[in-house]
Amino acid sequence: MARPFRLSIVIPAFNEAARLPGTLRRITGFLAGRSHLLPVEIIVADDGSRDETARIAGAVPMPSNVEMRVVSLDRNRGKGAAVRAGLAASRGDRVLITDADLATPIEEIETLLSVEAGIAAGSRGVRRELIARKQPLLRDLLGRLFNRILRLLSVTTLKDTQCGFKLIDGDLARVLAMQLRLDGFAFDVEMLARAERMGQRVVEVPVRWFHQDSSRVHAIRHGLQMLRDTLRIRWWLWMGK
């Protein structure tokens, strides 16, 4: 049965009222005239925001071939929970996860579309020269250390799991929405690990990336949470969960 949308775009958002209008206009501007992607649905997954994220997102005008929806969590639970809700609500042949700050430009979806895979994962680790604006040194070093730990633990073979730009087969996305358990930033690791264990092809694709000063990731605090959750993932894999 044909899906109503060729593409679903899931944008997890927490207190993004100021940034979302510009982000949504940039996405719809890019989509204009790209018939191979249309029709599209954009799903803003509001992670219990305390500002007007949901109202403002829903008020941004959309072209006729783009449908806008807001999925709201009852409280702030974490990026993983928001993405999971967005994936579950999606109806597209493919699902793109992208951050509200568009640190990876929306134009990079064409690069992901060129790859046949269950998940085409945007990466900063394959061709680091594509990083147009680097993140602070501490964050960069901790991120690279984290992904090295993932490979040492045989959780994944990817060099960069945390780039917030991933294109997923639609049916796989909705299966993963039912299986994913982590609410925090390590949800990417769990998603990739589960897909690989399901026999899905996961391909790391180099993309352009620009560090955003307004990023809500705290290098130390969230890094420790992600390490804890990674050990949980490793345990689940050993236990066949």
> What tens-digit pLDDT sequence spans the chain (241 residues)?
456 999 999 999 999 999 999 999 999 999 998 999 999 999 999 999 999 999 999 999 999 999 999 999 999 999 999 999 999 999 999 999 999 999 999 999 999 999 999 999 999 877 877 777 777 677 777 777 777 877 777 778 888 888 899 999 999 999 999 999 999 878 999 999 899 989 999 999 999 988 776 656 665 566 677 777 787 777 877 676 6
Specify the pLDDT at position 5: 95
144 neighbors 152 (Cβ within 8 angstroms): no
Query: What tokens does 23 get?
Result: 């982000």
The rounded distance, in Å, linking the Cα atoms of 193 and 234 is 9
pLDDT of residue 223: 64
| 37 Cβ contact list (under 8 Å, min separation 6) | 6, 7, 31, 109
pLDDT for 117 = 96
Q: What is the pTM of this model?
A: 0.89
For residues 129 and 207, the answer to whether their CB atoms sit within 8 Å is: no
3-state secondary structure of 38: coil
Quote the CA–CA distance of 195 and 176 in Å, as a whole number: 8
Q: Which of 44, 83, 86 is nearest to 186 (CA)?
A: 83
Token pair in block for residue 155: 């959780």
> For residues 143 and 163, what is the distance between their CA atoms, to the nearest angstrom?
10
Alpha-carbon distance values, 137 to 5, 104, 141, 144 (Å)? 41, 19, 6, 11
**Which uninterrupted H or E stretch holds 5?**
strand 5-13
Residue-range domains of the chain with CATH:
5-133+162-215 (3.90.550.10)
The whole-angstrom separation of Cα 148 and Cα 152 is 6
Closest CA to 168 of 71, 81, 78, 92: 92
Q: What angle do CA 103, 96, 128 make, to 5 degrees?
A: 40
